[in-house]
Amino acid sequence: MQNHVNIDTKTRLAGLIGHPVGHSLSPFLHGRLCELTGINMAYLAFDSLPENLPFIIKGGMAMNAVGFNVTVPYKKDIMSYLDSVDQDASLIGAVNTVKYTEAGTVGFNTDMPGLLKALDNEGISLKDANVVLIGAGGVANAVLYVAVKSEASNIMILNRTGSKARELAERFEKAHGSKITVHQYDEDFLSAMDRIGGGKKWIALQCTSLGMFPEVSKTAIDDDAFYERVSCGVDMIFNPSETEFMKRVKAAGGKTMNGLKMLIFQGIRSFEIWNDVTVSDETAALIIEKMQGLL
């Protein structure tokens, strides 16, 4: 996973802020993007403590960096240190990309366009579909926004804690007027899926960390009857490449997709924002091929 960047006096800095960051594939991704586009940028990962966030942001500005990606657990906290936040990122309530501009620091969320591009790349459309989100944590904010913006016919959030899911649903209902149903795992959500879905199967978007390496045998929902109602299962996890959730969807006859392409396309969008460029579909395809070989 070594980067091949020719460092010189014109090389611009970008990087990743989070804790921990040792598992991240972002340095590899951006190293390949720099190689394929010829852009003179170096990308590093910074394992950062919470108290150092404001200093990192100011330091990046002082060093004339192009910007930073932000990962867990700082996607929300970082917003209070920025000069402005993009409208989509503000609604999602999380920033994963910071750009340095003459007007100051600007925050964006590229998870939403990254997922949209990934779904399109896989031939999956949420428009007029029944969509069920599993989980109501940080990832679910951007995923719910995608479902709403895609004009899904019905949207349901399944979560262990009903109040957290309801809070998330109400924020998006207020902004977009969408009706979002909320159920807990221990409620009779299967009958609700049948009633609301009108006989159509559901596209399930798995937004929890359950099933992530190394605890690969875990999944949020164990009931086989749920998977029989799913035509397509999208897991935001990319390691392992096939999660327990995906295995269960596939066993019930559904199509599956992991989170690698979302990671790639959100990274590409960050790269485009920093460098004011458009990455071609051909370059994106090469990146996907290279990164699929890592897993």
What CATH number should be reported for the domain holding residue 182?
Answer: 3.40.50.720
How many domains does the structure of the chain reveal? 2
Structural domain includes residue 7: no
Give the CA distances from residue 54 to residues 19, 58, 61, in Å, rounded to whole numbers and listed in that order: 15, 6, 11
pLDDT, tens digit, for every residue of 24-47? 999 999 999 999 999 999 999 999
Is 70 exceeded by the pLDDT of residue 1?
no
Does 252 lie in the same domain as 120?
A: yes
Mean residue pLDDT of the chain comes to: 94
In-domain check, residue 284: yes
Same domain, 181 and 236: yes
Give the residue-averaged pLDDT of 269-290. 97
Q: Is position 5 within any domain? A: no
Q: Are residues 187 and 65 in the same domain?
A: no
Q: Are residues 241 and 129 part of one domain?
A: yes
Closest to 172 in 3D by CA, of 106, 90, 114: 90
CATH of the domain at 278: 3.40.50.10860
The reply to whether 20 and 45 lie within a common domain is: yes
Instruction: Indicate if 189 and 144 belong to the same structural domain.
Output: yes
| Tens digit of each residue's pLDDT (9 = 90 or more) over 202-255 | 999 999 999 998 899 999 999 999 999 999 999 999 999 999 999 999 999 999
| pLDDT single digits (tens) 108-126 | 999 999 999 999 999 999 9
Spatial contact of 217 and 245, defined as CB atoms under 8 Å apart: no
Range of the domain at 20: 12-109+264-292
Residue 172 and residue 54 in one domain: no
Same domain, 250 and 273: no
* pTM: predicted TM-score of the whole model, two decimal places: 0.94
In a domain? residue 199: yes
Collect all residues with Cβ–Cβ distance below 8 Å to 235 and sequence separation of at least 6. Answer: 206, 211, 243, 245, 246, 256, 257, 258, 259
Active centre residues (catalytic): 75
User: Do residues 121 and 203 both lie within one domain?
Assistant: yes
